A and B are shown apart, each in its own frame.
Chain A
Amino acid sequence: MQSHFVLLAIFAFFVSLVFAVIAKDEARGQLRFGGLMFGGFIASAVVLGWLMYPFPL
């Protein structure tokens, strides 16, 4: 398991899950909140990855 993207997705899943369960009481609200957070994690990682692409580090 060395894929950065897979590890990022697993990390985002766990963090979104815990935050959703803490923040919301109903299953529907938890799904919505967790899904939005997970999507936000993945989308921001992809966008930031492309923004950093031109910089040779």
Chain B
Amino acid sequence: MRATAAEDSQSGTLVLLCLASWAIPGAGHLWLGRRSKGLIFLIALPLMFAIGVAIRGRLFPFELSDPLVGLAALADLGIGATYFIASALGYGGGEVRAVTYEYGNAFLIVAGLLNMLVVIDAYDIAMGRK
């Protein structure tokens, strides 16, 4: 019984860790005491996202009728709270006529995907695999 309660508590902590790591890039590593890694993620990923927005990239809407747009939206969402903050402030509308539009999209999508990798890395560290 005790073992089950302990396992539940551990899995709850893991879920919280992954959520924190997703919402704030690098938070999971900071939580686990990997300060330098956490700080690098905390600065680099939102900065990459901000550059994507600044060069007129688009935060894609969740349109399931167009699978590629839906997938791009999922990847954009990977950056966590930064996505919602940018959306709430009206950024990420995209300017399709801008020369840098596709680059902006690449920055936004890849920043989200990299943050997903960072979440998986934090999970691996928490599980003692690294």
Contact = CB atoms under 8 A, between A and B. Distances in A.
Interface of A: 1-2, 4, 7, 10-11, 14-15, 17-18, 21-22
Classify chain B: how many residues form its interface, as a range: 20 to 34
Contact of B100 (A7, A17, A21): A7
Interface of chain A, main secondary structure: helix
Interface in B89-130: 99-100, 103, 106-107, 110-111, 114, 117-118, 121
Contacts of B121: 22
24 contacts: A1-B54, A1-B55, A2-B99, A2-B100, A4-B103, A7-B55, A7-B103, A11-B103, A11-B106, A11-B107, A14-B48, A14-B107, A14-B110, A14-B111, A14-B114, A15-B110, A15-B114, A17-B40, A17-B44, A18-B40, A18-B44, A18-B114, A21-B37, A22-B118
A14 B45 CA distance: 8
Given A7-B100, A18-B40, A18-B117, 4 more contacts: A14-B45, A14-B111, A18-B118, A21-B40
Given A1-B55, A14-B48, A15-B110, A21 B41 contact: yes
A4 B110 CA distance: 17
B22 to A, nearest CB: 15
Interface string B32-69: 00000100110011011001001100000000000000
